Structure 1
């Protein structure tokens, strides 16, 4: 599929409130076959997501430790996770330490997911992911660990207000760029 046709298809699925606000752009290098070109998403004419470009406003993590130490990432912990650690430690660990251990484990899992999703984005081909998005159900794109699929699904008109509001807790575990597009979409409701 050509870029112009793909762009037209993607923009036809944009939420009416984001139509004209969110744009998909691509540059190509016709005479440099080893350069794949750039694909990026612009919001209000500003490039918000350049594939793996460090000049964007969104923070790109370089190591898992950066994710673990980021105070903006909030991890909800439930009683089952605390109970699992209590069973592993045979009840000899104080209650407040159990919460710290549960949070640390969950943050470590979250860090690995964010880091792998971020690294796969830098290698991914925007056109391949966008084509996959157009051919898969919206639920799969929302649940995917692929950052780009999440973004395309969040700005999609098929995702309604109720579903968006129910996703608030899940969004806390996503990459900051996904959270940015979630806030952008929720702000238009």
Structure 2
């Protein structure tokens, strides 16, 4: 599908309060095929989401240790997580230590998922992911590990107010760019 038709379809699915605020931009270089074009998203005419650009203001983590050391990251730990650690470690570990171990395990798992998602995203072609989004159900896009699919689904008009409000805890475990678009959409309700 050519870019103009794809852009028209993507913009047709935008949540009405975000139409005109969120834009899909693509650049290409006709006479220099060795130079790849760029695709990015803007919010209020400000470039917000470009995988290759370090000036977007969204933090792209370089390593698992950076994620684990991020003080802004708040990972909720459930009682099930604590029970799993208790089962693995035995009854000799104090309760407060179980919470620390459970949080560390969850944080490590989250960090690995985050790095894997960023790596896949930097290799992905925007057009391919957008085509996938247009052919999948909205539920599949929201549940996907792909950051760009999550972003496209969050600004979609087919995602209702109740579903957006119910996602709050799940969004804490997503990449900062997904959280940014979630807050944008939630504020537009």
- Shared fold per TM-score greater than 0.5: yes
Residue of structure 1 equivalent to 2:142:
142
> Aligned residue for 2:180?
180
CA distance in 1, matches of 2:152, 2:48: 14
Matched pairs, number = 189
Name the residue aligned to 1:97.
97
Using the alignment, how far apart are the partners of 1:145 and 1:52 within structure 2?
19
Q: Which residue of 1 aligns with 2:154?
A: 154
Shift of 1:119: 1.2
**Are residue 6 (structure 1) and residue 1 (structure 2) matched?**
no
Partner Cα distance (1:168, 1:94) in 2: 31
Q: TM-score, normalised by structure 2?
A: 0.98
Offset from partner CA, 1:33-86 (integer Å, 9 cap, x none): 222210000000000011231111111111111111112221111111111111
The corresponding residue for 1:117 is 117
CA RMSD of aligned residues (A): 0.7
Q: Distance in 2 between matches of 1:53 and 1:113?
A: 21
Q: Deviation at 1:88? A: 1.2
Unaligned runs of 5+ in 1: none
TM-score by length of 1: 0.98
Equivalent-residue separation in structure 1 for 2:17 and 2:122 (angstroms): 29
Matched with 1:34 is: 34
User: How far apart, in 1, do the equivalents of 2:38 and 2:115 lie?
Assistant: 21
CA distance in 1, matches of 2:154, 2:168: 12
Q: Deviations over 1:145-187 (max 9, x none)?
A: 0000000000000001000000000000000000000000000
Distance in 1, matches of 2:48 and 2:9, equals 20
CA distance in 2, matches of 1:140, 1:74: 26
CA contact (8 A) 1:68 1:111 kept: yes
Name the SS for the 1:145 alignment partner: coil
Mapped partners of 1:23, 1:31: distance in 2: 25
